[in-house]
A and B are shown apart, each in its own frame.
Chain A
Amino acid sequence: MPISENDVTRVARLARLRVTEAEIPQYQAGLDGILDLVAQLHESVTDDIEPMAHPQDISLRLREDQVTEDDERDLFQECAPAVESGLYLVPRVIE
């Protein structure tokens, strides 16, 4: 099933990626090529097979509920593109 222009636009929106009109054919072709490649998946019979999400069949470790980290807001905000008074700046969302 080939990918349509609408599919590219829909997926780009979901992925929060701006794709211009001019770029659509190029991504359409790219995605089509990959989906062709992965279409072989449908040839395998996988009834009664449990999906494998991860190489380790173990449950995650638990730790004591104790504070282990200091507050390092200033350090972590040093690499942010725009901060003011300890807050991350974004375009206005509420008028």
Chain B
Amino acid sequence: MLHLLSLKALRERLQKREVSSVELTKHFIDRIARFSDLNAFISVDEEGALAGAENADKRLNKKESGNLTGIPIAHKDIFCTKRLRTTCGSKMLSGFTAPYDATVVERLANAGCVTIGKTNMDEFAMGSSNETSFFGNVKNPWHTSRVPGGSSGGSAASVAARLIPAATGTDTGGSIRQPAAFCGLTGLKPSYGRVSRYGMIAFASSLDQGGPLTRSAEDSAIMFNAMGGFDPKDSTSIERPVPSVNELLDLDLRGLRLGLPTEFFDSSVDTAVLGSVREALQILEKRGAQLVDVSLPNSAAGIPCYYVIAPAEASSNLSRFDGVRFGHRSEQADSLLDLYECSRAEGFGEEVKRRILIGTYVLSAGYYDAYYLKAQKIRRVISDDFKKAFEKCDVIVGPTTPSTAFKIGEKTQDPVSMYLNDIFTNTVNLAGLPSLSLPVGLDGAGLPIGMQLIGRFMDETSLIGTAHQFQLETDWHERCPEDFS
């Protein structure tokens, strides 16, 4: 049952040489093939992974190993990799192989990880259900008629189904935390600037942040510690070291003030979700945490603010796809303008086009002040609300999503209803704060429920620490969907 072990347990077995990295890698490659119906992977690199595993075994034999040596992982297909194509879930990049590795890919490789493959995702990370992927939708292992969430849906489904011990994701408005909640995982969106964005294909540059999707807070700490830290290649990277794994985990809950925003506990949230979050809060309270009421009065403005700023930045970032330097090139084009317009029309899917159009609209002459500038002002108001709340508490807590995983196809015809999934998550990106979702229960249909913790800027320690203390008392994070144990 190698696939049920934590990263720490895997490391111990590898270091004691009770299992080899090659055996472990083969085991996970077999599982990925066996459960390919989930459609969680876009590319699997069997040859490269086995070569990496052999190399890891040599280092393990010589006792040269690091924290993650020989452990297989997968990357969301938004991180550039030299060896494997990087599609970003799009036809536009379906034939693209990057000339370099993303910093996150390089750091995890240096920590000894064996990269098995690249996971499915919403096209250019634009979606909350993994249904906008050019490579087809991903199924939620807890219930295969349900979505795994998005945009890091392939990473979440593959970790939940035990096809891989841990995976990377990215979060622009909730794309790590919402799939973590839907799949019963621990998902961390670090503070903006903690994890390098170099080689991570840009969606909305002032909001995007990479982070790990893992089963437990302990695994999250190990992955975050290896991924994060200053990178001179990212101009917004923060020059501060990442805390050690022990610093991230050893938190005393006594006296920690947990703030409950009234706006996050309203009637729009499923009763099962609220019930599980309240039960989890009681457990934390028993361990010494104090519950305090706080308010985030402008959180309702988060969705409109986000859906101006994110598409505006996306419309600018995605202008690089022109059919000339990389990506899909139309064969219909007679003029340069035709080449741009047709390559983009053929290469992008409908949701991406919609967001490029709305982003272009809000930035265009006559509308800029009314939409983009207005949204930037509201962004400040939202950020200030968090600052005020953190005067009264240390961590803000609430549900990650208003409901559990919805059915495949349920929201595809109505983009706006899909956007409302981000209601509790996207204000965190607007403010640049760290946030974590952890599993705290199952609803009546047996679907996982996620609780969100939000911290002060650069304080991932309180989030991972709180989640770890909770997981020492509970076993929600160890629950495995039936058929995958």
Contact = CB atoms under 8 A, between A and B. Distances in A.
Interface of A: 3, 7-8, 10-12, 14-19, 26-27, 30-31, 33-42, 44, 46, 49-56, 60-61, 63, 72, 75-76, 78-82, 88, 90-91, 93
A16 B64 CA distance: 53
B6 interface: no
Given A14-B360, A37-B416, A44 B301 contact: yes
Nearest to B304: A38
A46 B361 contact: no
Given A46-B374, A46-B377, A50-B377, 10 more contacts: A15-B359, A17-B344, A30-B357, A34-B415, A42-B374, A46-B378, A51-B377, A56-B238, A79-B98, A79-B326
Contacts of A16: 319, 322, 337, 340-341, 344
Interface in B414-468: 414-416, 419, 430-433, 457
Contact of B96 (A52, A79, A82): A79
Contact of A50 (B96, B339, B370, B380): B380
A34 B336 CA distance: 31
Contacts of A3: 361
Interface of A is mostly: loop
B329 A81 contact: yes
Nearest to A88: B324
Contacts of A75: 99
Contacts of B301: 40-41, 44
Interface extent on B, as a size class? 35 or more
Contacts of A41: 301, 304-305, 308, 371, 374-375, 378
29 contacts: A7-B361, A10-B364, A11-B360, A15-B357, A16-B319, A17-B353, A26-B350, A27-B353, A30-B357, A31-B354, A33-B414, A34-B419, A38-B362, A40-B300, A40-B301, A44-B298, A46-B378, A49-B381, A54-B432, A55-B193, A56-B193, A60-B235, A61-B235, A78-B97, A78-B99, A80-B325, A82-B324, A88-B324, A91-B333
Given A31-B358, A55-B192, A90-B324, A37 B380 contact: no
A61 B359 CA distance: 28
B304 A37 contact: yes
Given A51-B376, A52-B377, A79-B96, A33 B416 contact: yes
Interface string B366-389: 000011011111111101000000
A38 B432 contact: no
B193 to A, nearest CB: 6
A18 B344 contact: yes
B236 interface: yes
A26 B314 CA distance: 20
A30 B349 CA distance: 14
Contacts of B380: 49-52
A21 to B, nearest CB: 13
B432 A55 contact: yes
B339 A91 contact: yes
Contact of A49 (B206, B232, B377): B377
Given A50-B380, A55-B206, A55-B431, A17 B356 contact: yes
Contacts of A7: 361
Nearest to B375: A41
A14 B365 CA distance: 11
B372 to A, nearest CB: 9
Greatest chain B CB density within 10 A among A11, A33, A60 is at A11
A76 B97 CA distance: 10
Interface in B293-351: 298, 300-301, 303-305, 307-308, 311, 315, 319, 322-329, 333-342, 344-345, 348, 350
A60 B235 CA distance: 7
B342 A18 contact: yes
Contact of A37 (B379, B419, B431): B419
A50 B373 CA distance: 9
Contacts of B373: 51
Contacts of B342: 18
A30 B380 CA distance: 28
A49 to B, nearest CB: 4
A56 B354 contact: no
Contacts of B336: 90-91, 93
B381 to A, nearest CB: 6
A28 to B, nearest CB: 10
